[in-house]
A and B are shown apart, each in its own frame.
Chain A
Amino acid sequence: MSGPQSNRLASGGGIDRSRALRFTFDGRSYSGFSGDTLASALLANGVRLVGRSFKYHRPRGILSAGSEEPNALVELRNGARREPNTRATTAELFDGLVAESQNRWPSLALDVMSVNSLLAPVFVAGFYYKTFMWPAAFWEKLYEPMIRRAAGLGRAAAEPDPDSYEKVTAFCDVLVIGGGPAGLMAALAAARSGASVILTDESFALGGRLLSERAEIDGGDANAWIARVRDELDALANVRILTRTTLFAAYDSGTCAAIERVADHLAAPPPHMPRQRIWRIIAKQVIVTAGATERPIVFGNNDRPGVMLAGAVRSYINRFGVAPGRRAVVFANNDDGCATVRDLASAGIEIAALVDTRASSPQYISELAAHHGVRLVNGVVTDVEGRLGVRSVRIRPHAGAPFTLDCDLVAVSSGWNPNVQITTHLGGKPRWSDTLATFVPGELPRGMSVAGAAAGDYALHSSLASGARAGHTAAEATGFSSPPIDTPRADDEPTSIAAFWHVQGTRHKAFVDFQNDVATTDIALAEREGYRSIEHVKRYTTLGMATDQGRTGSVNAIAILAALTDKSIPETGVTAARPPFTPVALGAFAGHHRGRTFKPERRPASYDWTKANAGVLVETGLWLRPAYFPRAGERDWLESVSREVATVRSAVGICDVSTLGKINVQGPDALALLERLYANDLASLRVGRARYGVMLREDGFLMDDGTIARLDEQHYFVTTTTANAAKVYQHMQFALQWLWPELDVQIASATEQWAQFAIAGPRARELLREIIDAAHDISNAAFPYLAVGDVTCCGGIKTRLYRLSFSGELAYEIGVPARFGPALWQRLLLAGEPLGACAYGSEALGVMRIEKGHISGPELNGTTTAADVGLGAMRSRKKDYIGRVLGERPGLVDPARPALVGLRPVERAQRLRAGAHFIARTAEATAANDDGYMTSTAFSPSLGHWIGLGLLRHGPQRQGEIIRAVDPVRGEDVLVEVVAPVFIDARGERLRA
């Protein structure tokens, strides 16, 4: 039956017959036209069998002509661009398109897994819950792998997605979702009033159903009218039209999300173009004109290729100029049958019968049938025959004997469901309408309205009118009023319907949810087993959980369940539709933020120099900090770090500490605020001096530590750890704005203003002398330990100098305006050369702070108190401060809490590892004997062995004791001696030198 576009009609359709496009499906070459979808092109070439179903691997064809398609899913493109589960009905044809059918082996026509279909009587709903339980061990080893291999549809690409995505934010007064007749009128009405309008449509052409129907508007072809409207909208500056764009979710406060397929109609996006774009649209008013989705009728073998929604049949004829079959049977419970018969006839497709489920058809239907010489049967189609596609149908008239008719196409319609999904994303429930025999939008979120088929206004003229009304009202609600616009002339074709859901007494399985292979019998079984809530039925049978979220099947299912439970359909209720309206590529949500650009980088002053000199950078939050600076001949990081430490301890080193948080605190009440923020006393801090401080959370645990420098009577300059800078700033603002708003203080971050370097080591002062302008006396007497002052360097550059030491050596921190940072860094290294200076990174910094027993991130883990880390004495008794009261709870002052100690291996050669747990030397390594854990470790070049800090139960009282540091996950168990948490210069003489 197939051949080069053998089923393409001689004329008609919105396709461009002058532009032929080549494509392949399952390796076979075909051609189609510009304006085709993959589905229309396959049908044009007589291809009916397109996929296999999820569970039984039944042959499936093309049911619809839109995004609701449950059957015709393919793998589109190949290699890194392979897209599984792509709907052939929405994939635009492009030259060179490659598509493969999925979920079949070895071939689509001969799929071995279709034996499942023979086992269908066994593989019923709930099958898995009742089986595969014995023996337990077999589940992961045997049963599940088998099930997992069989399940799934298409295959994800094996390589990273090579295309790019982006995200855009847009604002408008009125958002119109759907560019069909109602949407176009709504956009027009709103736009003419001056309101800013965004109109989205999932297709590449505006018009919606009009593109698929032979409708007249204003006495002419509807397409002409569409073109006129589009021209007017295009000409208006306040209108943005987004085609190939699906509005897929509504969120709070008028925020909607849409996906624009920027380049999916091309073989591959050009390098500068994103593949897709997420639109975050913030709209004051939202009008849903998303149209409606047609329902199939449920009957035997209703999933066979050749069974097609009547509306889709018309789409393929009218929009794509394709004959979806040669001999058709039309099966409907509503007047939709008229249009189908008319269009089939005019396309020259033979019509074997019009089967109307109603006891008697309205007169205009019998007249139409007569006019086209079509046999009108009031009855039902009970079954389809044919293995890989429709060969014939069995018909059971209401009166008379059943009979069979040959045909290759069944155009089926049980009416239309308004696309209410977007109206329910914010919790709204659809409302049942008896007259329309479907669910229509219920209570709407504020700022949202519905028009056209989405509101149940199926007839063309009333749809246009309701769109115009909605557009006008929405614009007025946003303050743009204008006279209502006229509704163009159009007919209101008949839309009467007699609810009919499924045919009783069929020979073959009758499917409700095609993709998940849920049949009427599965729903009956679920009900029989007590799964009677619609949600239970959904979850037990997987009904409505396929990639179409039940758009074609769910209402039929609800009706069938209602009948089984003797409830009304509204009593039975609906299952919630969840965002997205149609599936959206995961990559689009990430946009630019993947790979190395997942998060922005923060670069300190020494970044470029470090890169240029092969220094190693390490991620510290968003910062990239120099970790260490390898030199030629050094075997590993440890050798480099040890050399840096030794240089600092013996000569002088320079370290970039620009990443530390820095905050100006100024004003008459600056001290009062700081006294409440820090646990230790600050009142006695003099101008020109700095002090170490600890900050607690209100719950009494340590929050952060740092230095507080008093630059002036009312000007304090505090530093925070790199990790907590933002948290501390926010905490200070909280205290100032919410807890103590009466305080007169101003807080400003200065982290980025200053490039700051630590200069540490016995020769630090000598080096500094080379940099600081001569006018400033930095002798030990004039500028002692913990002194702070503003000076100048390198010939007058603003400089803030601190005498602080994290390393325990004679040390300073020098801050200059950030633009001079890179130059000062190099200047310090240059000036330091004669003194044997070197740059040192965060690793060496870490080693030295452990040698000195200073706490850092591992000890500041949010569960330690000041006392735990040996700072209990700092807590002031004289003042109220954040964390004081809750910090005195029994659980926080329990003397048995693990407290900070130093540790060194008994066998000096052994390595210590952070994360090891402490066990008494003679005790079993069990949870009951867990005495704490190692927080930080380092190899101390100064001591020539590994050292550690840890939190040990009753730690301070256990100095000298030998305990085990057990590390099962690394297979180690080391004897360590508990010592004081200071390994170098315990009396602190060096830093005062």
Chain B
Amino acid sequence: MTSRSYSILGVLREALRGHSGWTPAWRDGEPKPAYDIVIVGGGGHGLATAYYLAKRYGVRNVAVLEKSWIGSGNVGRNTTIVRSNYLLPGNIPFYETSMKLWEGLEQDLNYNAMVSQRGILNLYHSDAQRDAYARRGNAMRLHGVDAELLDATGVRRMYPWLNFDDARFPIRGGLLQRRAGTVRHDAVAWGYARAADRLGVDIIQNCEVTGFRIAGGRCTGVETSRGTIAARKVGLACAGNSSRVAAMAGLTLPIESHVLQAFVSESIKPLVDGVITFGAGHFYISQSDKGGLVFGGDIDGYTSYAQRGNLPVVEDVLEGGMALMPRIGRVRLLRSWGGIMDMSMDGSPIIDRTPVDGLYLNAGWCYGGFKATPASGLAFAHLLALDAPHEDARAYRLDRFRTGHMIDEKGMGNQPNLH
């Protein structure tokens, strides 16, 4: 409704008049007293949900409530990787739908989020790992997803400078998904916000939900730091804080909050083209268009709501980094930070109704939430609009732990910090 289309011509036109003509990417408005649907959480998932509600399901009387600034959660502090190289039938179609949405995202949103499909290479270092990746790659192929299994020679061709010759766990090959890549994370939140705003969605920043209005087992709205807001339906998309928010509605979730650290190096000339994950340690890496090496490893491993980690994990990550790519030894770490993950009990997300009528849950994304943003928004919008699960998200039931239908990619069982 406010800002007009972005294009190189628009930019050139503005360049001639000092860019004085640009208008806000989204309105910074006051909440209305009531909405059809209120989304709690102005992160990637919440904003995407609002966008698809308006765009695909015609529900435009929607508000996204953000306690801070939009994109201040994990969409603003992740390592920007998008991929659909999953193993289990409950996951592959969902993440592939997400990949397809990424592939058309910029044209859809008229916002360049720099979706960059430079591929992800998961290295393997043993026959058993090779077979596990073959199983996964085959599962992907059976679902129509691209996957290639490389041997050591194939990996050498892509990255001749990896440590092949002096390795404790020699590289024997890798599973490659060429369509995977990275996306400029903040731009995803901004792009969805702008697009949703243009369809009439209200984006309310600095508006913290402090409680739920529940009468007769039905949720009729939310209490917020800016007053009561009525809603026919309320959707929670506040991963990292799901347990805290759900507790206000009397729900206990199969989720623990854990801290995951991420790292970026000083900006250097192009070195790492795609995404690489080390199979014999906790280390994965890519390089941003700006030149920083963006990398990470395992979660710290203990529950936390403090957005920071501890030193042992930093060392663990870089021991893996130096084991795999000893030429980065003199490149410097610029920044490290921590984000809070909804670690679910089987490592897979939840998109489902809750025992409270009118209250819906989108949670449990572990450290994989960013790549899921478009599909998560689409599936949650579908559920909120039609009260039926999206076909790609059918497995993400809240009661699956009760019935024993867990979606456990790693086989770690009911221990969140191992997923």
Contact = CB atoms under 8 A, between A and B. Distances in A.
Interface in B1-26: 3, 6-8, 10-12, 15-16, 18-20, 22-26
A528 B22 contact: yes
A426 B104 contact: no
B319 to A, nearest CB: 4
Interface in A956-981: 966-970
Contact of B118 (A134, A140, A584, A699): A140
B386 interface: no
Contacts of B269: 84, 149, 152-156
A592 to B, nearest CB: 9
A152 B308 CA distance: 27
B142 A530 contact: no
Interface in A148-177: 148-149, 151-161, 163, 165, 167
Interface string B304-334: 0011101100110111111100111111111
A251 B321 contact: no
Interface stretch (B366-374, B375-383, B401-409): B401-409
A539 B71 CA distance: 10
A619 B268 contact: no
Interface in A247-269: 249, 251-252, 255, 257
A525 B168 contact: no
Interface string B115-135: 111100000011010111111
Interface stretch (A368-376, A460-468, A496-504, A908-916): A908-916
Contact of B141 (A136, A593, A968): A968
B411 A589 contact: no
A155 B268 contact: yes
Interface string A120-147: 0110100111111110100110001001
A533 interface: yes
B266 interface: yes
Interface in A206-256: 249, 251-252, 255
Interface in A497-554: 521, 525, 528-533, 535-536, 539-540, 542, 546-547, 549
Interface in B258-312: 265-271, 280-281, 287, 289-291, 306-308, 310-311
A547 B331 CA distance: 12
Interface in B373-419: 400, 402-406, 408, 410-414
Interface stretch (A29-37, A326-334, A594-602): A594-602
A854 interface: no
A921 interface: no
A584 B402 CA distance: 48
Nearest to A577: B335
B226 interface: no
B321 A969 contact: no
A131 B8 contact: yes
Contact of B406 (A132, A252, A891): A891
Contacts of B93: 927
A587 interface: yes
Contacts of A913: 131, 134
Contact of A700 (B92, B266, B307, B404): B404
A917 B140 CA distance: 11
A969 B137 contact: yes
A857 B411 CA distance: 12
A930 interface: yes
Contact of A927 (B92, B267, B287, B412): B92
Interface stretch (B50-58, B106-114, B237-245): B106-114
A84 B268 CA distance: 7
Contact of A585 (B11, B280, B329, B404): B329
Contacts of A930: 89, 139, 142
B168 to A, nearest CB: 4
A132 B113 CA distance: 10
A590 B315 contact: yes
B167 A154 contact: no
Interface stretch (A792-800, A808-816, A858-866): A858-866
A82 B269 CA distance: 13
Contacts of B11: 122, 127, 130-131
A619 B107 contact: no
Contacts of A889: 402-404
Nearest to B168: A598
Contacts of B147: 968-969
Given A85-B266, A916-B134, A594 B18 contact: no
Contacts of A194: none
Contacts of A251: 310-311
A139 B114 contact: yes
A335 B333 CA distance: 37
B323 A593 contact: yes
A892 interface: yes
Central interface residue in A122, A255, A536, A583, by most chain B CB within 10 Å: A536
A151 B414 contact: no
Given A521-B18, A580-B333, A586-B331, A133 B106 contact: yes
Contact of B139 (A127, A425, A586, A917): A917
B330 A157 contact: yes
A528 B20 CA distance: 8
Interface in A645-659: none
Nearest to A843: B127
19 contacts: A84-B331, A131-B8, A131-B112, A132-B8, A133-B112, A134-B7, A140-B117, A153-B269, A160-B163, A163-B329, A549-B335, A584-B332, A585-B330, A585-B332, A586-B331, A587-B318, A863-B411, A916-B135, A970-B149
Interface of B: 3, 6-8, 10-12, 15-16, 18-20, 22-28, 68-69, 71-72, 76, 89, 92-93, 103-104, 106-107, 110-118, 125-126, 128, 130-139, 141-144, 147-149, 161, 163, 166-169, 175, 184, 186-187, 190-191, 205, 265-271, 280-281, 287, 289-291, 306-308, 310-311, 314-315, 317-323, 326-337, 400, 402-406, 408, 410-414
Given A161-B327, A863-B408, A968-B138, 16 more contacts: A129-B190, A136-B106, A149-B269, A165-B329, A252-B310, A549-B334, A583-B265, A585-B332, A586-B328, A586-B333, A587-B318, A589-B333, A595-B167, A858-B128, A916-B138, A930-B139
Closest 10 CB pairs of A and B: A862-B411, A915-B134, A891-B404, A161-B329, A889-B404, A587-B329, A530-B24, A152-B291, A583-B332, A160-B326
